[in-house]
């Protein structure tokens, strides 16, 4: 049944719901043999290319935990919601997860808009929110833990390497919405820091498919490197047109979003070879733990499972870090689990060591600069244990426990 805005906001209903949620948080799960967490991802619609493998990663984590005996004597049950690439679904399903399914954690809402629609609901019902997508950074909220990379962990190492190895003149082309514009601020921060120059900040609507004029502008500017933050299916036209114009071998492209939707498997190698990106995880990582992880993915989804990239990997790492916090806390209670996460949970997984950071509610982790050739990624350079940005000490849930707004880097 679709919840109306009136029923969602009605005072008496809200008070009743809060009472139910509070009762459950107080230990109503104690008598059950299972404990529920929620996956809130887009399993249909335009964003399902991100949501389906993210949900798969959560499922792999839950099966691994249950295969090892569960948590605190209980099996973990994964409640799955399909956001349908519809922002309006997120607050509805977040409320349903809290009140009907009485989950003790929610993970997902990968896009910035979905995340911002979801956070207030989970904060209201005191359900911890694990955010598994890479993002611009600066989210410092008591009820949310970010387990993927922030801007300083992804853009900064990529641009450090780029300004050193490719040249100082950068051209930024990006989709026109909040996240790419916020990522764009990091270009200027890094150009100032590294003695580089941002020649242009060039933004395009998400539905643009003709980049002829954009490519002409880049050719005229003569940059040393192009930084692309173009997202979505239509944006793949840029890479096709760039290669068709003979530019792929002339000016290198770097990106922090390319391949998050596995574009390297859709586009032809001659349209993508040589592109350089930065992610905490990529499937070709040659480590024993990654081989074990991929075997578990195959056991759940078969050999033809979707490529697991750095964007969707958060579905796995988020559940595993939360589980480690539950073990340390000896409880599923919100306050106990958040306190455990804040104490610094160290977990060694397929992407290397990850450690939760108490003041920022973000995560210290490795980042890999990688290049694609013939649809296969290879390692260029590994940046080890990059801590989250504190934004000059402003990102600190201990000193600012009621903070919910984003912080942005200063140029």
User: Domains along the chain?
Assistant: 5-149+286-367 (3.40.50.2300), 152-279 (3.40.50.2300)
What pLDDT is recorded for position 411?
74
Q: Residue 351, Cα to own-chain centre: how many angstroms?
A: 14
In eight-state DSSP terms, residue 234 is T
Nearest 5°: phi and psi at 352? 110, -165
Q: Could you list the pLDDT tens digit for every one of the 411 residues in the chain?
A: 444 444 434 444 444 444 444 444 445 567 789 999 999 999 999 889 899 999 999 999 999 999 999 999 999 999 999 999 999 999 999 999 999 999 999 999 998 889 999 999 999 999 999 999 999 999 999 999 999 999 999 999 999 999 999 999 999 999 998 889 999 999 999 999 999 999 999 999 989 999 999 999 999 999 999 999 998 888 999 999 999 999 999 999 999 999 998 999 999 999 999 999 999 999 999 999 999 999 999 999 999 999 999 999 999 999 999 999 999 999 999 999 999 999 999 999 999 999 999 999 999 999 999 999 999 999 999 999 999 999 999 999 999 999 988 898 877
What pLDDT is recorded for position 29?
65
Q: Which of 362, 360, 344, 364 is nearest to 396 (CA)?
A: 360
Rg, the chain, Cα only? 21
Q: Which of 341, 339, 336 is nearest to 322 (CA)?
A: 341
Q: Which of 71, 70, 138, 148 is nearest to 109 (CA)?
A: 148
What pLDDT is recorded for position 76?
98
Q: Which of 319, 324, 332, 342 is nearest to 143 (CA)?
A: 342
- Which residue has tokens 């692309």? 228
Please state the pTM of the whole predicted model. 0.91
3-state secondary structure of 248: coil
């Amino acid at each position: 049944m679709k919840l109306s805005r009136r029923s969602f906001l009605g005072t008496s209903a809200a008070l009743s719901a809060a009472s139910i949620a509070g009762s459950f948080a107080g230990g109503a799960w104690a008598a059950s043999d299972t404990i529920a967490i929620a996956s809130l991802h887009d399993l249909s619609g335009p964003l399902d290319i991100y949501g389906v493998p993210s949900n798969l990663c959560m499922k792999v984590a839950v099966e691994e935990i249950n295969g090892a005996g569960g948590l605190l004597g209980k099996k973990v049950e994964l409640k799955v919601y399909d956001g349908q690439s519809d922002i309006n679904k997120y607050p509805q399903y977040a409320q349903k997860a809290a009140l009907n399914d009485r989950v003790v954690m929610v993970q997902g809402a990968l896009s910035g808009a979905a995340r911002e629609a979801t956070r207030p609901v989970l904060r209201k019902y005191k359900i911890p929110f694990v955010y598994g997508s890479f993002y611009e950074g600066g989210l410092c909220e008591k009820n949310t833990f970010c387990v993927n990379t922030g801007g300083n962990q992804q853009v900064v190492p990529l641009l450090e390497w780029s300004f050193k190895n490719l040249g100082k003149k950068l051209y930024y082309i990006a989709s026109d919405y909040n996240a790419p514009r916020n990522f764009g601020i990091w270009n200027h921060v890094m150009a100032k820091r590294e003695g580089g120059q941002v020649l242009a900040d060039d933004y395009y609507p998400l539905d643009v498919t003709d980049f002829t004029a954009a490519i002409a502008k880049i050719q005229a500017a003569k940059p040393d490197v192009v930084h692309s933050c173009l997202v979505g299916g239509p944006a793949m036209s840029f890479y096709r047109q760039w290669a068709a114009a003979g530019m792929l071998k002339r000016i290198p492209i770097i990106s922090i979003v390319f391949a998050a939707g596995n574009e390297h498997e859709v586009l032809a190698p001659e349209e993508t070879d040589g592109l350089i990106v930065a992610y905490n995880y990529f499937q070709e990582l040659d480590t024993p733990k990654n081989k074990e992880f991929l075997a578990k993915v195959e056991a759940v989804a078969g050999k033809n499972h979707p490529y697991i990239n750095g964007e969707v990997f958060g579905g796995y790492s988020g559940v595993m870090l939360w589980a480690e916090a539950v073990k340390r806390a000896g409880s599923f209670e919100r306050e106990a689990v958040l306190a455990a996460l804040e104490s610094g949970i160290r977990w060694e997984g397929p992407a290397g060591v990850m450690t939760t950071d108490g003041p920022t509610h973000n995560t210290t982790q490795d980042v890999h600069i990688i290049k694609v050739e013939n649809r296969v990624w290879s390692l260029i350079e590994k940046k080890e244990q990059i801590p989250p940005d504190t934004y000059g000490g402003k990102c600190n849930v201990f000193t600012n426990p009621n903070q919910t707004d984003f912080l942005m880097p200063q140029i």
